[in-house]
Amino acid sequence: MHRAPGDDYRLIHTLTGLRAYAALWVFARHFFAAKHYDVGVGTAVDLGQLIHIVVLGGWGVDVFFVISGFVMLHVYGDRFSARFGWFGAIRFYLLRLGRMYPLHLAIIVVMAIGYALRVLPWDGREPDGTGLLVNLLLVQSWGFYDIIVWNRPAWSISLEWFAYLLFPLFVMVLGPIRKWRSLLISIAVLFVVYYFARFEIGGFTRGNLGPGALMRVTFGFLLGFFLYGLYRQRFLEQVSWDTVCVVTMGLLAAMMLLNGAGYKIGFSLNFPIGLLVFATACSSGFAARIFDNRVAFYLGEISYSIYMVHFPLLRFLTHNFGDRFDAVAASGNQPLLWAIALGVFALLIAVSSFCYHVIEVPCRDWVKRRVRRNASLAA
């Protein structure tokens, strides 16, 4: 059953849980299938057929983009639709920065200290002022710098910031689209435009840097935007969205296994990802319990920290304990490899929980209080 449109976004607990799975999917991709993240253990673990799902974990970022567009419209859409004002837009920008920037800045500071003390290895080009500046300004994926440096996964929050800057414009231009038929047509047009713009015109194929990256986040964000319009219209409310949710997860898994077997799926994963986000938001029964349980919800709450922390943590472990991990990997002892992998996962959750409670929440709440205080004074 659809929840009431005016509810606070935190009541869509299933989407918070879905964020947890998306963050862990990205982590699994980097730990088990990416050499430059590997601590010497992950790529030696025998995952069997699951490796074909893990290796496509980069799509977890696209899940984030779709959820972001969905949730932003759910929380802020009515405010911008009713009356747009520069003060409201600035307030929105400050709140979003208060949500994402403190942890981003803290990790840059910690990494800088790690580089200085040589407990972290520099990744990529030698550090320079431009690379640091684009990261501090959250524009590192906009095409101003030709490689991703510092905290690599932060490329996606640079794109999120790009979408947030455009959000008031999206609401003003696209907000009047209300009828479900128009929303479905808009989604179809969006798919076609994105496909031709990114993959057929100009060769903008890189998904984390430059024009291709900006297209990628705009597409995902607007897809979530239009899906929320269907959600608000209670589109096909009589359908068992729990069943659709489970079937869609099965479809995603099957498509990824087919990709591993040599059948290229590429862009087509966007379709089930959008459907999964919508079905997850609408589910309220057995499928909802996959996402709306205490563990999934808490991991969803700390999912931003999981996403942002895992790269420097894995690089630290590789640099300082890589020889020992390599020796274990060379032994081929799968039970021991799995035990170490679970230990790394537990360490990631512990560090992410610390960052969430010590950095994310206090800074977010401080910014909220300041913004509300200034809003009351302005009123």
Q: Report H helices in the chain.
A: 13-33, 51-54, 59-82, 86-117, 129-136, 155-174, 180-195, 211-232, 241-260, 270-282, 288-291, 294-301, 303-331, 334-355, 361-378
Tally of domains in the chain: 1
Residue 307 in any domain: the answer is yes
Residue 271 in any domain: the answer is yes
Distance CA 84, CA 362 (A): 29
Distance CA 356, CA 245 (A): 29
Cβ within 8 Å of residue 244, ≥6 positions away? 275, 279
Geometric angle at alpha carbon 149, from 56 and 110, rounded to 5°: 105
Among 55, 2, 30, 18, smallest CA distance to 273 is for 18
Tell me the whole-structure pTM to 2 decimals.
0.91
Residue 152 in any domain: the answer is yes
Residue 75 in any domain: the answer is yes
The H or E element that residue 145 is part of is none
Residue 1 in any domain: the answer is no
Cβ(160)–Cβ(65) below 8 Å: yes
Residue 61 in any domain: the answer is yes
Residue 56 has phi, psi (to 5 degrees) of: -100, 20
What pLDDT score was predicted for residue 209?
85
Range of the domain at 129: 9-378
- Block means of pLDDT (10 residues each) for the chain, length 379 residues? 41 89 94 75 87 92 95 82 73 92 97 92 80 95 90 94 92 83 89 80 74 90 92 87 93 91 80 94 89 93 96 90 85 90 95 97 93 63
Geometric angle at alpha carbon 63, from 367 and 207, rounded to 5°: 95
What pLDDT score was predicted for residue 53?
92
Residue 3 in any domain: the answer is no
Cβ(25)–Cβ(60) below 8 Å: yes
Residue 2 in any domain: the answer is no
What pLDDT score was predicted for residue 25?
95
